[in-house]
Amino acid sequence: MNGATGWGARLMNSSITGMSPWIVFSLLAGPDRYELAAATSLALAVLLVVVRHRPVFLEVAGLVFFAVLTVVGMIAPPDTLRWLETWANEISNLTIAALAVASVAARAPLTVPYARKKVPREFWHEPDFRRANVVVTYVWALAFLVAALAGAIGDLVLDNPDNLWTAWLIQASALITAVRFTEWYPAVPRPPVRSLLMPFVGLLIPMGVLVLVFDAAPRWFAVGLIVVGVVLARALRKEVAVAQQEGRER
């Protein structure tokens, strides 16, 4: 029970969890999926607010935002609903990116409430603590901005909101990078920079498979993604094993 409680506490004290409704909507929204995406993100936002004794701003903002999207989707006429199916993804991503930038400008980065759960109070006003939260919050803003731009390219340039690259692969890559950076940057001591590549390397193989299945690029490119993913994954695992062995010997 204590292990489960500890795991649950770590989960709730992560800014990644606070971002989860926005991440889910970014990856799920699209043609014929607007209502499902909004309702799923709203349910997740409600769960976060209910579980936490004192909800933080990010979670309350998610609850309000996705409640509005859900209600609008329920009452919107067909033309408006079609517009939302196309553009709600970009609206959501730009909204959370704007909230992140505004929170830094207000000297209250979105990640601070979560970081304070992990750091003793005497360090809350240290420059390093603030700098880490500013950097991580800006990285999240950049990730959602990349996701919004990718979606806009799919809608405006390619005229295909469900394009594999712009609707999923690029957006997923940006958000996974932000997730990994959130864990990597504040760590003491900070792991090697190459460890940031591990989640992305893990994404290369399924990315190559999806490209092959959906014929989203030349076959040689898809096979190349898989091969590079396998080679890099083996190399990184070997480096991690060596580092662990060196740590034990010390």
- The pLDDT of 239-249, averaged and rounded, is 62
- Residue predicted with more confidence, 138 or 232: 138
Residue type, 2: N
Encoded tokens for 101:
């930038």
Give the confidence band of 238 by pLDDT, cuts at 50, 70, 90: confident
- The pLDDT of 23-29, averaged and rounded, is 95
- The pLDDT of 201-206, averaged and rounded, is 85
Q: Give the pLDDT of residue 67.
A: 98
CA–CA separation, 197 and 200 (whole Å): 5
Q: Give the pLDDT of residue 87.
A: 95
pLDDT digits (tens, 9 = 90+) for 77-93: 999 999 999 999 999 99
CA–CA separation, 203 and 213 (whole Å): 15
Give the confidence band of 3 by pLDDT, cuts at 50, 70, 90: very low
Residue type, 99: L
CA–CA separation, 60 and 164 (whole Å): 32
Which residues make Cβ contacts (< 8 Å) with residue 209, sequence separation at least 6? 222, 226
CA–CA separation, 195 and 192 (whole Å): 6
Least confident of 92-101, 130-139, 167-176, 201-210: 201-210
pLDDT at 243 over 70: no
Q: Give the pLDDT of residue 241.
A: 65
